[in-house]
Amino acid sequence: MKKLSHFGPAGSPRMVDVSGKPESRREARAHAFVRIRPSVLKKLPRNPKGNPLEVARIAGIAAAKKTSELIPLCHKLFLSHADVEVRIETEGVRIVSTAATTAPTGVEMEALTAAAVAALTVYDMTKALDKSIEIRELYLLEKTGGKSGTFRRERSR
């Protein structure tokens, strides 16, 4: 049975020591969906705060770079790449984020943080039009590199 690495022998939280692990190329992609009514989606291009999709993209990238400041036990990583794709669909906004590095630990949290903050930014920029907007489906799509190898979520769609 695997044990959780963020807990010490006495059960107290700790930062994992990765100093003995070799560096390798790591990449992760994450997903989020913001459900927005069609009438609100039509108004996105005329948002007085600016283009919500572009602001969300930049916010997600910035968040990926600050993940270790937001998640207490995450390692500070030098990202070699971070990006967020944001696109309008019939029922809302789909967000896919990517983070990459060469390091002794993975970038799943950076990709997930990017997707989450991008989704929150879409909400923030559209909440004046509709308070019932929902952030859904935040999850890891895939990760590569490291000792555990590759993980790819099976698509249910």
Which one from 17, 83, 124, 130 is the annotated catalytic residue? 124
**What does the domain layout of the chain look like in residue ranges?**
24-146
What the block records as the tokens of 55 is 């602001």
Binning pLDDT at 50, 70 and 90, where does residue 19 land?
confident
Q: What is the C-alpha to C-alpha distance for residues 58 and 27, in angstroms, rounded to an integer?
A: 19
Binning pLDDT at 50, 70 and 90, where does residue 112 land?
very high
Fold for the domain defined by 24-146: Alpha-Beta Plaits (3.30.70)
List pLDDT tens digits, range 44-68: 877 777 789 999 999 999 999 999 9
List pLDDT tens digits, range 133-157: 999 999 999 999 988 889 999 875 4
What the block records as the tokens of 5 is 């690495």
What the block records as the tokens of 65 is 């770079």
> Is 124 a residue of the active site?
yes
- Has this prediction a pTM greater than 0.85? yes
Q: What is the C-alpha to C-alpha distance for residues 127 and 113, in angstroms, rounded to an integer?
A: 20
Q: Are 122 and 86 in contact (CB under 8 A)?
A: yes
